[in-house]
Structure 1
């Protein structure tokens, strides 16, 4: 502390002196600052009274403003809450109505879409049916035109009737039961000969119906045309019946009745309704007019007759086979009786074998029960075995 800190004007200043000088200087500065502060406080005290009054007034105004602002804020909050609740209610109601309208609109659109799809599907189905019906009608019209072109030509018409007649006969009879275009002893050739059983004469069938006059009847527009067509049809039909009777009814070679095949049911019906005299004339000439249905029934009757004839022809063979079958059954019965006798003898032998095995089992049990330590000289009782053992 007494060390020299520095030298000032030839005087050595120690650390202690420097510390005391610094402390005094600090005290002087503090005092000066205190006095200055007190002076300023006296000056400001006089100004503070006016400022305090002004501040009080400002504070009162400010409190009133704050109070008014608080009331306005409360009212604004209340109004905001009211507006918010009403707005939320309004939004909820609007959303509910929008949801209901959207659901109803969606349901209505779904139903409308379903009904539209169903209607379109039914429309497509009906259009498909109409399309198929139109194609069918087109095919039928084409076939009718082809049939008309066939029937307008005599040769093609004959081939058409021949084809239908052949199809019916081929479906009902075996190949050996008929001949197509066979030649008779007179040189004539009927369209078909159906062979009858037991060497009976064959049945002749003609498939060439006179359709020219019949077409004239259908196409007649006036009474004169109708009369002319009827007269021509009667002449043609009468001539055709006479030709069949003269050509195909040969005694001893063909039946005394021939068939005239009409390839159309409508023509057959109209012929029987409007020309009964021609039908009677055909019957008197022993010519039977048949439609496809009647021809089928007649061929079925002939088929039954042929089957019955074949059965009668094979009756003696059947009787011989039945006799052989009866003999075989008798031999089988004898052999079964012999086999039954053998089975009875075998059963008796088995019963005797069972008796012997039972006795053997009993004797084995007695042997096991013997006392090996018995007195010598004693003998176990014996038992006489029957001859069967």
Structure 2
């Protein structure tokens, strides 16, 4: 069985029920072809540089064809793959080849990526699948929001009833305070009775009797 160098696990169309879908990522670094190109450019050998660039382009086309044949197998994988080149210089040279990137995508379903663009591609894929997941669950999210809205309305009714009860209790306390202050003012107007009048109103106190006989 062919085993790709790297594979990115992606959610399947049916979520966890259908299992994951794998995005194949294969790294290629045609060092010899690239070094011959750099050497020819440094020697200002335009003809040699063009021959080396063509050889490098053909090598990348062959690698893309191999990746597509070996590793792209829908529905277990995505219907496209990534060919990663590990240096920005090599990636820039390949971008200069007229029509190369477009041909790789159209003929072999292979996307060319360098160190910087690989990160951008992966971030774009992540955001894309998050959007799809949100769309799939939008009905569920709407239902949850509706339930929350209903419960919040009930909670608002409970708060309103509680507020009314508290207001009633506050009014009762305020009425009691008013009655208490009125009673206090009335009591302050009552003067203390003179001692003679108080004694006359109170029952007489019985004096203890002596049982001793005089001798």
After TM superposition, the score normalised by the length of structure 2 is 0.68
Question: How many angstroms does 1:264 deviate by?
Answer: 1.0
Match of 1:253 among 58, 62, 76: 76
Alignment check: 8 A CA contact 1:193 1:205 kept: yes
Which secondary structure does the structure 1 equivalent of 2:82 belong to? Answer: strand
C-alpha offsets along residues 274-298 of structure 1, whole Å, 9 cap, x if unaligned? Answer: x225444323323221111111111
Which secondary structure does the structure 2 equivalent of 1:350 belong to? Answer: helix
Alignment check: 8 A CA contact 1:212 1:233 kept: no
Question: How many angstroms does 1:313 deviate by?
Answer: 4.8
1:322 to 2:145 alignment: yes
1:195 to 2:15 alignment: no
C-alpha offsets along residues 71-123 of structure 1, whole Å, 9 cap, x if unaligned? Answer: xxxxxxxxxxxxxxxxxxxxxxxxxxxxxxxxxxxxxxxxxxxxxxxxxxxxx
Q: Distance in 1 between matches of 2:47 and 2:190?
A: 133
**CA 1:352–1:230 in structure 2 vs 1: closer, same or farther (change >3 Å)?**
closer
Greater length-normalized contact order (CA 8 Å, ≥ 6 residues apart): 2
Counterpart in the other structure of 2:59? 236
Superposition map of 1:339-350 within 5 A: 339-350=162-173
1:283 to 2:97 alignment: no
Equivalent residues, number:
187
Structure 1 window deviating more from structure 2 (264-273 vs 237-246): it is 237-246
Alignment check: 8 A CA contact 2:23 2:77 kept: yes
Gaps of at least 5 residues in structure 2 are 15-20, 198-215
After TM superposition, the score normalised by the length of structure 1 is 0.41
Q: Distance in 1 between matches of 2:125 and 2:25?
A: 13
Alignment check: 8 A CA contact 2:57 2:94 kept: no
Alignment check: 8 A CA contact 1:268 1:291 kept: yes
**CA 1:267–1:292 in structure 2 vs 1: closer, same or farther (change >3 Å)?**
same
Superposition map of 1:124-135 within 5 A: none
Question: How many angstroms does 1:261 deviate by?
Answer: 0.8
Which secondary structure does the structure 2 equivalent of 1:209 belong to? Answer: coil
Superposition map of 1:62-81 within 5 A: none
Which secondary structure does the structure 2 equivalent of 1:268 belong to? Answer: helix
Match of 2:25 among 187, 205, 221: 205
Counterpart in the other structure of 1:292? 115
Structure number with the higher helix fraction is 1
Alignment check: 8 A CA contact 1:198 1:309 kept: no
Question: How many angstroms does 1:242 deviate by?
Answer: 1.9
C-alpha offsets along residues 161-219 of structure 1, whole Å, 9 cap, x if unaligned? Answer: xxxxxxxxxxxxxxxxxxxxxxxxxx322222233444285432221232322212223
Which secondary structure does the structure 2 equivalent of 1:297 belong to? Answer: helix
Counterpart in the other structure of 1:103? none
Alignment check: 8 A CA contact 1:210 1:240 kept: no
Q: Distance in 2 between matches of 1:223 and 1:367?
A: 123
C-alpha offsets along residues 136-179 of structure 1, whole Å, 9 cap, x if unaligned? Answer: xxxxxxxxxxxxxxxxxxxxxxxxxxxxxxxxxxxxxxxxxxxx
Alignment check: 8 A CA contact 1:207 1:260 kept: yes
Q: CA RMSD in A?
A: 3.3
Which secondary structure does the structure 1 equivalent of 2:190 belong to? Answer: helix
Q: Distance in 2 between matches of 1:362 and 1:306?
A: 78
Q: Distance in 1 between matches of 2:102 and 2:180?
A: 99
**CA 1:313–1:368 in structure 2 vs 1: closer, same or farther (change >3 Å)?**
same
Q: Distance in 1 between matches of 2:71 and 2:143?
A: 42
Gaps of at least 5 residues in structure 1 are 1-186, 375-389
Q: Distance in 2 between matches of 1:249 and 1:349?
A: 80
Alignment check: 8 A CA contact 2:9 2:23 kept: yes
C-alpha offsets along residues 289-320 of structure 1, whole Å, 9 cap, x if unaligned? Answer: 11111111111111112222333455455445
Q: Distance in 2 between matches of 1:311 and 1:277?
A: 36
Q: Distance in 1 between matches of 2:61 and 2:23?
A: 21
Find the structure with the greater CA-based Rg. 1
Alignment check: 8 A CA contact 1:191 1:205 kept: yes
